[in-house]
Structure 1
């Protein structure tokens, strides 16, 4: 069963996703970022290029021929995933097939609508019998 981690009280969901992605890559993980629409994928891609001044996080789109060799792959679905290490979900719903990944990361901002959708995802995972670890980002500030 996948390890599921919820990081909540993120000041900005995408900026936090970039930070967590960067940290995971430094720890040797490979991350598939589930960005269900093109606009979200582009915003995440741009943030990886500009987010941290002195670090570069190698990343490509799932359609790239370099996807199997790149630590971060941005995909709109999980079909033909380049790897099954860590899945970072930027969708509002649990992605189909997340169970094939060793770890699933969910990031929840302080926005009430985002929190409500995250509660629904949490309940869905709980009903399916998954163990969830919660990390309060407000306590780290």
Structure 2
């Protein structure tokens, strides 16, 4: 049963996605980032332009097999197959098709985009309807 985490109150969803990718790579985890073509294009550019010490090598789901074999981070459109089922980072509007095959699912929710928050609520309900209890990580909470 996958662990489902919602990272909420995120000021910049794509910058947060890049940090999650960097952390996954450093932990030698395989990560699929799913989103629209526009979102993936922006994430792709951001990952290539990180600081040299933070470089996150990655590829697209339609890359040649030898590139996919060498890559821990794969950018995929909704419905595109990804071989590794370790970790899924969803930047799409809907729950990805193969989410139940992953060990961990991470949803990233904007701090100030009401439409994104509404879609996230729908995804939360969908996971619950499937018998899973997502865990909320509120990144907007201040610690004392």
Please give the TM-score of this superposition, normalised by the length of structure 1.
Answer: 0.92
Matching residue of 1:119:
121
Please state if 1:108 is matched with 2:109.
yes
**CA positional deviation for 1:40:** 1.4
1 CA distance for matches of 2:40 and 2:53? Answer: 22
Could you list the runs of 5+ residues in structure 1 that have no partner in the other structure?
Answer: none
Gap change, CA 1:140 and 1:74, over 3 Å in 2: farther
Residue 71 of structure 1 aligns with which residue?
72
- Whole-Å separation in 2 of the counterparts to 1:128 and 1:104: 14
Shift of residue 79 of structure 1? 4.0
Stretches of structure 2 lacking an aligned partner (at least 5 in a row): none
What does the per-residue CA deviation read over 1:21-68, in whole Å, with 9 as the maximum and x for residues that have no partner?
111211121101112x32211101001112445311110011112112
Contact 2:58 2:74 in 1 (8 A): yes
CA positional deviation for 1:140: 5.8
Matched with 2:86 is 85
How many residues are treated as equivalent by the alignment? 140
Compared with structure 1, are the counterparts of its residues 125 and 45 closer, same or farther at alpha carbon in structure 2 (3 Å cutoff)? same
* Contact kept? 2:2, 2:100, Cα under 8 Å: yes
- Aligned-pair CA distance for 1:95: 0.7
How many angstroms does 1:72 deviate by?
0.3
**4+ long deviations beyond 4 Å:** none
